[in-house]
């Protein structure tokens, strides 16, 4: 499929040039920056319509000041790491604490807050870097590649790859806040379907973190096996998992292997739907519980539940959980790979 790639300067960060790349093909126009791998906008086109379906900011400086992780590349370890510590290569690695007692998305050592090298490709964009312990806080040198590809009408594909020189841990994802009403209001009326039977249990009344156990979704507000209104789930404060997270902020293992469907998100108002496919072992669903009067693109004010994140990743805090540690460890000579596709459809 023919993909048009153009770029424009977007400022600088730590002395590195920052660009905003426009990738355009049938049905989609993605604006991606080499700063944090941010998907700054994702416009779904067709039938006389043009809708931006991700939350974000207009300027680079807003991304640099923000702690929302709008649209960013997340890693080396997505989600929370308990106490900001983990044992790798026989010693304790420490990450900055930025989520109560824990590190979330590796704090200011995360991939979301650095300018990446880049290369335009025939069907998209490749970002890459070789990062040492001073950059990541984890042992050795980590070589990371991330490709943004428009592979079919209305379909964006993200491809992750990583290699290391010493034992480390890797779980990469994208943190786009999807809004199928174009950011004109909250997503409480969006309907979500998940191809999963279980969710990851959390503990602690504040700053909840995964215990390592999984529980059946049946009979809980986290049962999305049938299309469920987002608002009906996030309002169930009588359910302790929802209450402590302030809404949905949970990991769902997805059975099977290889590229398979994880989620279907649909907005009846706009007639737009999003299918998420991945070869990851599961995804974290976050309903933007922490957004409050956040000024975004075009002066829009984003509030609670204004977006839905579908973060395909390894088990959160897996590096510290015996049953899940093997899924996030990366050894020298091994190669981490993963792919996720987002396909849109007008109905």
State the catalytic residues: 175, 311
**H or E element: which one contains 64?**
helix 60-65
Q: How far apart are CA 219 and CA 53, in angstroms?
A: 31
Closest CA to 184 of 59, 64, 272: 272
Q: In what order do the strands lie in the sheet with 272-278?
A: 117-121, 124-131, 142-152, 155-164, 336-346, 272-278, 260-267, 191-194, 228-229
Per the DSSP assignment, residues forming a β-bridge with 320 are: none
Closest CA to 274 of 193, 198, 199: 193
Count the alpha carbons within 13 Å of 323 in the hemisphere toward its beta carbon. 8
Retrieve residue 116's tokens. Answer: 């990446």
Q: How far apart are CA 7 and CA 284, in angstroms?
A: 31
- Cβ atoms of 19 and 118 closer than 8 Å: yes
Residues whose CB falls within 8 Å of the CB of residue 220, separated by 6 or more in sequence, listed in order: 199, 239, 241
């Amino acid at each position: 499929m023919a993909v048009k790639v153009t770029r424009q300067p977007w400022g600088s960060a730590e002395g590195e040039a920052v660009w905003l790349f426009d990738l355009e093909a049938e049905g989609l126009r993605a604006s991606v920056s080499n700063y944090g791998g941010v998907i700054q906008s994702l416009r779904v086109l067709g039938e006389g319509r043009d809708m931006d379906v991700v939350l974000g900011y207009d300027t680079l400086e807003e991304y640099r000041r923000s702690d929302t992780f709008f649209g960013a590349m997340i890693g080396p370890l997505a989600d929370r790491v308990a106490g900001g510590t983990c044992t790798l290569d026989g010693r304790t690695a420490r990450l900055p604490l930025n989520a109560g007692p824990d590190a979330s998305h590796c704090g200011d050592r995360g991939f979301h807050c650095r300018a990446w090298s880049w290369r335009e490709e025939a069907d998209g964009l490749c970002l890459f870097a070789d990062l040492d312990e001073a950059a990541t806080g984890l042992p050795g040198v980590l070589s990371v590649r991330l490709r943004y590809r428009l592979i079919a009408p209305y379909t964006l594909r993200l491809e992750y790859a990583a290699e290391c020189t010493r034992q480390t841990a890797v779980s990469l994802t994208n943190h786009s806040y999807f809004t199928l009403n174009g950011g004109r209001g909250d997503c409480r009326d969006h309907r979500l379907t998940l191809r999963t039977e279980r969710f990851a249990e959390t503990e602690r009344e504040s700053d909840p973190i995964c215990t390592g156990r999984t529980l059946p979704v049946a009979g809980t507000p986290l049962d999305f096996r049938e299309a469920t209104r987002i608002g009906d789930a996030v309002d169930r404060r009588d359910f302790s998992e929802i209450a402590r997270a302030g809404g949905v902020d949970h990991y769902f293992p997805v059975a099977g292997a290889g590229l398979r469907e994880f989620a279907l998100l649909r907005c009846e108002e706009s007639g737009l739907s999003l299918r998420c496919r991945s070869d990851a072992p599961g995804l974290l669903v976050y309903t933007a519980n922490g957004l409050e009067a956040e000024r975004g693109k075009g002066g829009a004010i984003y509030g609670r539940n204004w977006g839905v994140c579908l973060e395909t990743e390894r088990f959160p805090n897996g590096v510290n959980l015996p049953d899940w540690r093997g899924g996030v460890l990366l050894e020298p000579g091994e190669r981490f790979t993963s792919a996720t596709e987002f396909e849109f459809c007008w109905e």
